[in-house]
Amino acid sequence: AKIKEVEFVKSSARARDCPVDDRPEFAILGRSNVGKSSLINSLVRRKEIALTSKKPGKTQLINHFLVNKSWYLVDLPGYGFAKAPEAAKMDWSSFTKGYFLNRNTLVAVLLLIDASVPPQKIDLDCANWLGRNNIPITFVFTKCDKMKVTKGKRPDENIRDFQEIIRENYKQHPPWIMTSSVTGLGRDELLLHISQLRNY
Ligand code: GDP
């Protein structure tokens, strides 16, 4: 399950502008600052991959990358940019929802969760929205190397707390993987997971 080749294909402003193709795809999603760019770069091991959806306030686009000519890694706009409390709800534009609900080739959403902080309402809302709409997800916990916290809990404790809340809403607990872009933890596991899902 190695990434040999990554090709940027397209940025789409609307779900219906996404590439017309039947190759399977995996969408990567998470709160701003969750470590999405770092994880993508660690997966593809090519720093020059530009993530146009990165900056808050910039145009939000769906970015398709073709991996090994056989599957897509899709970089989705992040959520939770705004600091205002009333903004701490699912504020996806209809186009992101349109993508999830209409993209037939979507195999799974890789939902990134920052393991260095306690469970965040917006992440739980996101997971629950995807669950309610029967969109398969894999939890990808990021920053699992951050063991030296002065206050608060350790990543493994935050992950346990998160899983406990999720368990109340999901009949079957989605798969999950612990990762770190600093140490490379979980990189191979995630790639193996993707290749297994592709072969179902
Ligand atoms: P994005 O906004 O989701 O694309 O997040 P970035 O990849 O830009 O990362 C946000 C911040 O978290 C940066 O300061 C990164 O250096 C840091 N970060 C990202 N991944 C990790 C990780 O695995 N471990 C640690 N310790 N820090 C990380």
Q: What is the pLDDT of residue 58?
A: 44
Coil/strand/helix, residue 131: helix
Residue 115 contacts residue 176 (beta carbons within 8 Å)? no
Q: What is the pLDDT of residue 98?
A: 86
Decide: 63 in ligand 1 pocket, CB within 6 A. Answer: no
Question: 132-158: b or e for each residue (b if 16 or more CB lie within 10 Å)?
Answer: eeebebbbbbbbbbbeeeeeeeebeeb
Name the average pLDDT for the chain: 86
Among 116, 144, 181, 185, which is best to mutate for testing ligand 1, by the most ligand atoms less than 8 A from CB? 181
Q: What is the pLDDT of residue 36?
A: 93
pLDDT per residue as tens digits for the range 95-137:
678 899 999 999 999 999 999 999 999 999 999 999 999 999 9
The burial of 19, by beta-carbon neighbours within 10 Å (0-12 exposed, 13-18 middle, 19 or more buried), is given as middle
Among 28, 38, 73, 122, which is best to mutate for testing ligand 1, by the most ligand atoms less than 8 A from CB? 38
- As a whole number of angstroms, the distance between CA 100 and CA 88 comes to 20
Decide: 173 in ligand 1 pocket, CB within 6 A. Answer: no
Alpha carbon of 183 to those of 3, 4, 102: distances in Å? 18, 21, 36
Decide: 49 in ligand 1 pocket, CB within 6 A. Answer: no
Rounding to the nearest 10 degrees, give the CA dihedral for residues 42, 47, 49, 54.
80
For ligand 1, atom 20: residue with the closest CA = 35
Residue 144 contacts residue 179 (beta carbons within 8 Å)? yes
Kindly state the DSSP code that residue 13 receives in the 8-state scheme. Answer: S
pLDDT tens for each residue of the chain, 200 residues long: 788 889 999 999 888 899 999 999 999 999 989 999 899 988 887 645 555 445 544 457 889 999 999 999 999 988 875 544 444 445 566 667 889 999 999 999 999 999 999 999 999 999 999 999 999 999 999 999 997 666 789 999 999 999 999 998 888 899 999 999 999 999 999 999 999 999 87
Which numbered atom of ligand 1 lies nearest the CA of 41? 7
For ligand 1, atom 28: residue with the closest CA = 143
Q: What is the pLDDT of residue 54?
A: 52
Which numbered atom of ligand 1 lies nearest the CA of 142? 23
Å from CA of 143 to ligand 1 middle: 7
The burial of 73, by beta-carbon neighbours within 10 Å (0-12 exposed, 13-18 middle, 19 or more buried), is given as buried
Nearest CA to 75 out of 61, 60, 63 is that of: 63
Residue 112 contacts residue 140 (beta carbons within 8 Å)? yes
Q: What is the pLDDT of residue 51?
A: 53
Residue whose structure tokens are 């406990």: 164
Coil/strand/helix, residue 26: strand
Q: What is the pLDDT of residue 57?
A: 43
pLDDT per residue as tens digits for the range 190-200:
999 999 999 87
Which numbered atom of ligand 1 lies nearest the CA of 112? 3
Q: Indicate left, alpha or beta for 186 from its phi (over 0: left) and psi (-120 to 50: alpha).
A: left
Decide: 147 in ligand 1 pocket, CB within 6 A. Answer: no
- As a whole number of angstroms, the distance between CA 66 and CA 47 comes to 16
- As a whole number of angstroms, the distance between CA 63 and CA 58 comes to 14
Å from CA of 39 to ligand 1 middle: 8
